[in-house]
Structure 1
Amino acid sequence: MHYLRLSVLCALTVITTPLESAATPFPPNWNHMHTKHRWNVIPGKWESIGQPPVGTTIDFSIALKPHREHALTDTIHEVSNPNHLKYGAYLSKDQVAKLVAPHPYTLKLVETWLRHHGVSPSNVSTSHGGNWLTVTGVAVSTANELLGASYQLYRYAGTNETILRTVGYALPAALHVHVQTVAPTTYFGSPLTPRKRARGHRGRAAAALSARDGLVTPAILRSLYNSVTYQPAAMEQNRIGVTGFHGQYVSDEDLEKFMRHFRSDANDPNFLVIDINDSGYDPNKPGWEANLDIQYTQGMAWPTPHVFYSIGGLAEEFIPDSFTPVNTNEPYLGWLDTMIRQEDIPQTISTSYGGDEQTFPPDYAKSVCELFGQLGARGVSILFASGDEGVGGGDCKKNDGSGVVEFQPIFPATCPWVTSVGGTMGRPEVAAPLSSGGFSNVFKRPDYQTDAVLGFFQQLGNQHSGLYNASSRGHPDVAAQAIDFVIFLDDELKLVDGTSCSTPVVAGIISLLNDYQLSMNRPVLGFLNPWLYSTASQGFNDITSGSNPGCGTDGFSAVPGWDPVTGLGTPDFQRLLERLPIPTN
């Protein structure tokens, strides 16, 4: 057993023309402010604990709108549609950067605005192509002036979690057509998000486990999903990535024992650790989520090389001190910035984290989603857990103070550029009640999904009318087993439930399919959904029983065809192998 470790700090590199030379001929009225986003009430269980200490500074990121508004979307559809002549012609990092670059005037205008408020150009840097700016070392008082904001310290009830946020912010009217979002501003992720705990997570002793039938192990999954006989052949080209947020670390000793027990044919399972934003990676402090994810991607896809991204950011155990009094990190942005700057990225990435979509400001969610789209254009398959609260947990009230009840979809699973994975249970398989699914309130329904979703609505009728958005992106896209997964944690056997279980399983299957494509000198699958909803749809086991209750309802039911509980169903590797796309160019 061994692992390697690299450290990455998210410092954006200036690669565009220096902003200090920029100027605008007719400076706008910077005091003419229009609201960009505002919560009517403080989100969730956060409570204000007052102003930050004198001298506190903040770093923030600014997403700039691209010069060619639809260039990225059009390109993703071309390279991801098996019926398109450009299928598989994935872009390089620099090619994507050109697609998403803002107009030069946008950069000039934003620089002038920052300079007007005393922000030095030396504190401003750009990502490749200038799609995002990062502004460092800004006094909170200056940030309040820039953004028409009122930054305060907020603490999550019953925890030590302290963040610096504002319940609303504004931009000069002249910038609204140029700036998509600013972060951190109004995103209040709770200590359970971006990761949402699996419902029914529990640990049991090995003796108790041995008395149970129906437990899930790699052997069960490889047999159930028909991948036992496949032997990976493209290990020098293919890789799979696994993310770990919130102090979730992997124990290499636990992985070795897991593989020895459940993949006895696996010799020396190992993984590369990439540390992002000083995550404090410590294999002696493993988390159930990280161990689960790496043990089951390895269990499904060994000996495919693995990369574990240990990501610092909004952490459960953040404790302020005199040097770092508040936590201002945005973990998704830190990780995505690192990924986008890399020339070489794993072809498959499994992520088991998410939160109620309504807790993410819409412009922030769209900006993050577009970053996933950039990875898709480069040939990366990104899979996200759909969530573990059925159609919604708690009272399901909208967080705008209106008291209106609606189903609660999960982000980033609702992003149309990722593949969302729901949950099943039992043999034969039925929908797992915890499997989150439904319809976005932020993202429109993508074309690749239209026929499948309309087919579901014909069966649904008027049930749950008014509780969901019928014109939007539906999720999950696919599913896999999600109940009673056996893992090793701290040298003990435990049981885990949740779509955190199903996601690494499907990611492992996709990685094996990518291995086959590479061994045949074909392009990898990249952004999966156009293929999944077309020729690959018959490569899934349709789940037609069960439902995902929540919000005081029975939730949606699994039906023939796609449904917002199990998606298209669970994978059959051999049938999917027969339906792999072969480029015509």
Structure 2
Amino acid sequence: MHYLWLSVLCALVVITRPLDSAATPFAPNWNNMHTKHRWNAIPGKWESIGQPPVGITIDLRIALKPHCEHALTDAIYEVSNPNHPKHVLFFVPPPTQVTLLRCRYGAYLSKEQVAKLVAPHPYTLEVVEAWLRHHGVSPSNVSTTHGGNWLTVTGVPVSKANELLGASYQLYRYAGTNETILRTVGYALPVALHTHVQTVAPTTYFGSPLTPRERPRGHRVSALSTRDDHVTPAVLRSLYNSVTYQPAATEQNMIGVTGFSGQYVSDEDLELFMALFRSDANDPTFLVIDVNDSGYDPSKPGSEANLDMQYTQGMAWPTPHVFYSMGGVAEEFIPDSFIPVNTNEPFLGWLEVMTRLEDLPQTISTSYGGDEQTFPRDYATSVCELFGQLGARGISVLFASGDEGVGGGDCRKNDGTGVVQFQPGFPATCPWVTSVGGTMRRPEVAAPFSSGGFSNVFKRPIYQTDAVLGFFEQLGKQHAGLYNASSRGFPDVSAQARRFTIIHDNEFMFLRGTSCSTPVVAGIISLLNDYQLSKNRPVLGFLNPWLYGTAIQGFNDITSGSNPGCGTDGFSAVPGWDPVTGLGTPDFQRLLDLLPNPIPTN
């Protein structure tokens, strides 16, 4: 079994014995290309609109494989699992056993420590740099990003990118929109690089943002209906038992909200929302961090951004907030310019900023994603590992599970086989994030649109074993062959997700979707972190080992409802965890009593 100390040693030790392949002058055949990833056809709803103009450049991101494959995984479990052994056995050749008496839970890693864990072997850097030099890429255009195991190559002419990657970059437009991106349906790498490079981006990812389903009613602020099924912060705080808690560590605690696809927050809408629904709140404000020249403009608010900020504020005020405004996604294009500004992957561009910052919010809420199968496997794995880096640093990362039940559309696999299969969503299936599903009504039942199921990329994590096996005992053979029974199940938890009242452009709007439930759960987690900080305890960090352990008793089990899709009734909510509502909805006071209180030993 690997432990953090062994992992750190593995990452720091310099291998003195030369690698066999490095013992002789290095001269690989750069023309011996092997496909890394290729679609059989252009992914659905995208269409090619031709070659980009001559002279267009692209920034490439290259994920390098780490020297120690399991070091980061081991570290995450050690610092995130309250039940991890306090006595860690560490073996050093020659066989000498050293017993370290220390509680690892809550001893989160610094940015520099994480970088050492994920660092590639020096030989990996050598071979990749040799490849780039062979193609005339200047070292001044290459930098290290994303915690140390990614290279960013800036200003690469598209013609050069095609040569490097055996690709054919074209401009693609999403049907019925002006969203235009620069992508290729396939790319390759020299055989010599396949053991060193995990993925290259942007290449074959044709994603789109997940946004809530909007139900505008057109009522002015002065004419809100008195119907009792409207969801507001007061309803949620009462339902999830957090009304009486008063945050006490606001100088230390912070919650982050992400905004992609040109989604901005209106300060005026937020102020009015809080005046109406959190009358005790004074001066609700937030810090804006503009990522990749998003063009942040609060005078042009998005309903998604307003929803996310209004409900994290509504749940967690006066906890300080930061809004990450991410550019490069779903930009409007002028048809005659064809400037591919959307060449940065939405999550990679954001994660590049996050992994280089020293100070991060302890809780982050994100309501975006797409079908897992639209993300190339290597790309999804690499992005997931970056979320793992945040977890190792003590950050709770929450993602909406999606709004398509077990799958939208015809649910056919996009590998050319046409096989019907339930369609999980990513990043919700990443084992290093906490995925949030949806419920509705009071008493609560599963929302039929709540996405849930099982990944086709990520194996089932250890923390989920008992819960998922318990569900399979109740499921029996239903839906056999439509899902991967050995993989990561999602969502992890859930919350109300229907008829959310927001203020948008000075009007009431009613929304539904897991984009609604995610900021609610994020607000609850932020309050729990506030309590931990007020008691000089470590924050919760990566949540899932605690959620599936001690914290199970702090959730309201949802046992009715289902998430139909793909021509089926989908999965059903049952006692215990299920792939519709996860472990259930949070009860703040019960969770407060179940918070870990680690006592380090020397």
- Measured against the shorter chain, the TM-score band is over 0.9
After TM superposition, the structure 1 = structure 2 runs for residues 475-514 of structure 1, keeping only pairs within 5 Å, are 475-514=490-529
SS of corresponding position for 2:304:
helix
Is the deviation greater in 133-142 or in 225-234? 133-142
| Structure 1 letter corresponding to 2:77 | H
Distance 2:331 2:139 in 1: 34
2:379 aligned partner:
364
For residues 525 and 471 of structure 1, the distance between their equivalents in structure 2, rounded to whole angstroms, comes to 27
Between 414-423 and 120-129, the greater mean CA deviation after superposition: 120-129
Q: Does 1:430 align with 2:445?
A: yes
Instruction: Name the residue aligned to 2:573.
Output: 558
Measured in 1, the distance between the counterparts of 2:184 and 2:337 equals 22
Assess if the C-alpha contact under 8 Å between 1:24 and 1:108 holds in 2.
no
Using a 3 Å threshold, how does the CA distance of structure 1 residues 325 and 513 change in structure 2: closer, same or farther?
closer
Instruction: Report what 2:190 is aligned to.
Output: 172
State the match for 2:167 in structure 1. 149
Counterpart CA distance in 2 for 1:531 and 1:352 is 23
| 2:141 matched residue in structure 1 | 123
Give the C-alpha shift of residue 110 in structure 1: 0.3
Q: Does the residue aligned with 2:552 lie in a helix, a strand or coil?
A: helix
Is contact 1:481-1:501 (8 Å) kept?
Answer: yes
Match of 1:29 in 2: 29
| 2:98 paired residue number | none
Q: Which residue of 2 aligns with 1:69?
A: 69
Q: Which amino acid aligns with 1:340?
A: T
Counterpart amino acid of residue 155 in structure 1 = R
SS in 1 for 2:198: strand
Determine if contact 2:146/2:386 at 8 Å carries over to the other structure: no
Q: Contact between 1:117 and 1:146, CA under 8 Å: does it hold in 2? A: yes
Secondary structure of 2:532's match?
helix
The answer to whether the 8 Å contact 1:162/1:320 transfers is no
Other-structure match for 2:93: none
Deviation at 1:213, TM superposition (A): 2.2
Alignment of 1:163-312 (within 5 A): 163-189=181-207, 193=208, 195-199=209-213, 201-206=215-220, 209-312=224-327
Q: Residues 23 and 108 of structure 1 are in contact (CA less than 8 Å); yes or no, is this contact kept in structure 2?
A: no
- The code of the aligned residue for 1:25 comes to P
Deviation of the 1:323 alpha carbon: 8.7
- Which of 462, 483, 488 aligns to 1:468? It is 483
What is aligned with 1:12?
none
1:320-346 deviation digits (Å, cap 9, x = unpaired): 665935531212111101011100000
State the one-letter code of the partner of 1:538. Answer: Q
Contact 2:495/2:518 (<8 A) preserved: yes
Q: How many equivalent residue pairs?
A: 560
Mapped to 2, the partners of 1:328 and 1:128 lie a distance apart of: 17
- Aligned runs of 1:303-382 on 2, under 5 Å? 303-319=318-334, 322=337, 324-325=339-340, 327-382=342-397
Offset of residue 23 of structure 1: 12
Secondary structure at 2:347's aligned position in 1? helix
Q: Contact 2:331–2:341 at 8 Å: present in 1 too?
A: no
How far, CA to CA, are the matches of 1:376 and 1:129 in structure 2?
A: 13
Deviations 1:109-163 (A, max 9, x none): 0000011111111111112663100111112121111111111111222222221
Counterpart-to-counterpart distance in 2, 1:498 and 1:507: 15
* Distance in 2 (alpha carbons) for counterparts of 1:493 and 1:152: 41
Could you say which residue in structure 2 is the equivalent of 1:46? Answer: 46
**Deviation digits for residues 447-466 of structure 1 (CA, Å, limit 9, x no counterpart):** 00000000000000011111
| Contact 2:48–2:171 (Cα < 8 Å) also in 1 | yes
Matching residue's letter, 2:198: Q
Q: Deviations over 1:67-122 (max 9, x none)?
A: 11100000000000001220000000101011101001111100000111111111
Q: Give the Cα–Cα distance (whole angstroms) in 2 for the partners of residues 232 and 82 of structure 1.
A: 24
Q: Which amino acid aligns with 2:45?
A: K
What secondary structure is seen at the aligned counterpart in 2 of 1:393? coil
Matched AA of 1:531: W
Amino acid at match of 1:103: H
CA-CA distance at 1:508 after TM superposition: 0.3
1:92 aligns with 2:103: no
Corresponding residue for 2:17? none
CA distance in structure 2 between the partners assigned to 1:253 and 1:474 by the alignment = 39
More divergent stretch after superposition (407-416 vs 155-164): 155-164
Q: Which runs of 5+ in 2 are unaligned?
A: 1-21, 85-102
Instruction: Determine the C-alpha separation between the residues in 2 that align with 1:524 and 1:478.
Output: 19
- Alignment check: 8 A CA contact 2:59 2:155 kept: yes
TM-score (normalised: structure 2): 0.91
Please give the alpha-carbon distance, in whole angstroms, between the structure 1 residues aligned to 2:320 and 2:274: 15
Distance in 1, matches of 2:494 and 2:337, equals: 46
Structure 1 unaligned residues grouped into runs of 5+: 1-21
State the distance in 1 between where 2:323 and 2:341 align.
Answer: 27
**Equivalents in 1 of 2:484, 2:278: separation in Å?**
44
* Secondary structure of the structure 2 residue equivalent to 1:41: coil
Residue 209 (structure 1) shift: 4.3
Identify the residue that residue 121 of structure 2 maps to in structure 1: 103
* CA–CA distance in structure 2, aligned partners of residues 367 and 266 of structure 1: 40
Q: Select between 245-254 and 138-147 the one with higher mean Cα deviation.
A: 138-147
Separation in 2, partners of 1:225, 1:258: 20
Distance 2:410 2:191 in 1: 37
Displacement after TM superposition at 1:304 (Å): 0.3
| Contact 1:513–1:577 (CA under 8 A) maintained in structure 2 | yes
- Three-state SS of the structure 1 residue aligned to 2:264 is coil
Kindly indicate whether residue 460 of structure 2 is the aligned counterpart of residue 445 of structure 1: yes
Question: Match for 2:397: what amino acid?
Answer: I
Q: Deviations over 1:500-525 (max 9, x none)?
A: 01000000000000000000000000
- 8 A Cα contact 1:205 1:493, kept in partner: yes
- The 1:367–1:177 alpha-carbon spacing in structure 2 relative to 1, beyond 3 Å, is same
Change over 3 Å in CA distance of 1:72–1:507 after alignment to 2: same
Partner of 1:18: none
The answer to whether 1:396 aligns with 2:414 is no
AA matched with 2:210: K
Cα contact 1:161–1:319 (8 A) shared by 2 = no
| Superposition RMSD in Å | 1.5
Matched residue SS, 1:202: strand
Bigger mean CA deviation after superposition, 38-47 or 202-211: 202-211
1:49 shift after superposition: 1.7
What residue identity is the alignment partner of 1:145?
E
Q: Report Cα offsets for 1:507-555 as digits up to 9, x if no partner.
A: 0000000000000000000000000000000100000000001111110
1:407 to 422, 445, 448: 422
Q: Secondary structure at the match of 1:270?
A: coil
Query: CA separation of 1:577/1:366 partners in 2, compared to 1, >3 Å: closer, same or farther?
Result: same
User: Hey, what's the Cα distance between the residues in 2 that align with 1:128 and 1:282?
Assistant: 27
Give the aligned residue type for 1:104: P
- 2: CA distance between counterparts of 1:318 and 1:416? 35
Runs of 4+ in 1 over 6 A off after TM superposition: none
Structure 1 312/426 Cα, relative in aligned 2: closer, same or farther at 3 Å?
Answer: same
Equivalent residue letter for 2:165 = L
Q: Which residue does the alignment assign to 1:13?
A: none
In structure 2, C-alpha distance between the alignment counterparts of 1:128 and 1:555, rounded to whole Å: 37
CA distance in 1: counterparts of 2:341 and 2:417, whole angstroms: 31
Q: Deviations over 1:230-253 (max 9, x none)?
A: 000000000000000011000010
After superposition, give the CA deviation of every residue in 1:284-341 in whole Å (9 maximum; x if it has no partner).
0011000000000000000000001111012242446659355312121111010111
Separation in 1, partners of 2:357, 2:335: 32
Picking from 178, 181, 185, the partner of 1:160 is 178
Q: Distance in 2 between matches of 1:132 and 1:326?
A: 21
Aligned in 2, Cα 1:326/1:298: closer, same or farther, shift over 3 Å? closer
Tell me the amino acid that sits aligned with residue 197 of structure 1: T
Letter in 1 for 2:139: P
User: For residue 196 of structure 1, what is the amino acid of its counterpart?
Assistant: L
Deviation at 1:202, TM superposition (A): 3.4
Tell me if the contact between 2:171 and 2:340 (Cα under 8 Å) persists in the aligned partners.
Answer: no
